[in-house]
């Protein structure tokens, strides 16, 4: 049986007094439309999934976050190894999160920009359907 690659991330949200904003990470792509995703990344050996989610969101966005009590759906897909071209299953665990500090200026170099987006705009901008499904679940919880 193949090892499952694990990753974790979150839907970071804020109430702006009448509407909800969420954080998206974006990268410019020369030959296609720009990439917009929810922050997420790998789980390190010996690290809990929740700790990985908080760490990865901080690395990719610059924000310190707290995980909320509501669970979001996981997403599953296969990834190809660059070394041997073999396909492996991957699961990404997502959490609803709120900002408790930090600054977008401190995000890592993986993305060109990180920012707050009105939730309706974020739904349209997200590149991957499975990220839209996670956001839809977050919207349902927050409504």
Q: How confident is the model over 48-65, as a mean pLDDT?
A: 97
Query: Cα separation of 37 and 27, whole Å?
Result: 9
In terms of Cα–Cα distance, which of 50, 27, 48, 42 is closest to 97? Answer: 50
Token reading at 141: 């919880």
| Residue 86: per-residue pLDDT | 84
| Residue 2: per-residue pLDDT | 60
pTM for this model (two decimals): 0.91
pLDDT digits (tens, 9 = 90+) for 62-94: 999 999 988 899 999 998 877 777 888 999 999
Q: How far is CA 27 from the centre of its chain?
A: 14
- Three-state DSSP state, 116: strand
């Amino acid at each position: 049986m193949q090892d499952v690659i694990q990753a974790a991330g979150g839907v970071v949200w804020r109430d702006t007094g009448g509407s909800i904003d969420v954080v998206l990470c974006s990268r410019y792509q020369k030959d296609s439309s720009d990439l917009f995703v929810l922050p997420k990344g790998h789980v390190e050996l010996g690290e809990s999934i929740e700790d990985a989610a908080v760490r990865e969101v901080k690395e990719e966005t610059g924000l310190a976050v707290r995980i909320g009590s509501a669970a979001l759906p996981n997403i599953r897909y296969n990834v190809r190894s660059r070394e041997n071209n073999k396909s492996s299953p991957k699961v990404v665990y997502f959490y609803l999160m709120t900002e408790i500090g930090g600054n977008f200026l401190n995000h890592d170099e993986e993305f060109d920009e990180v920012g707050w987006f009105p939730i309706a705009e974020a739904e349209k901008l997200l590149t991957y359907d499975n990220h839209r499904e996670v956001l839809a679940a977050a919207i349902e919880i927050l409504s």
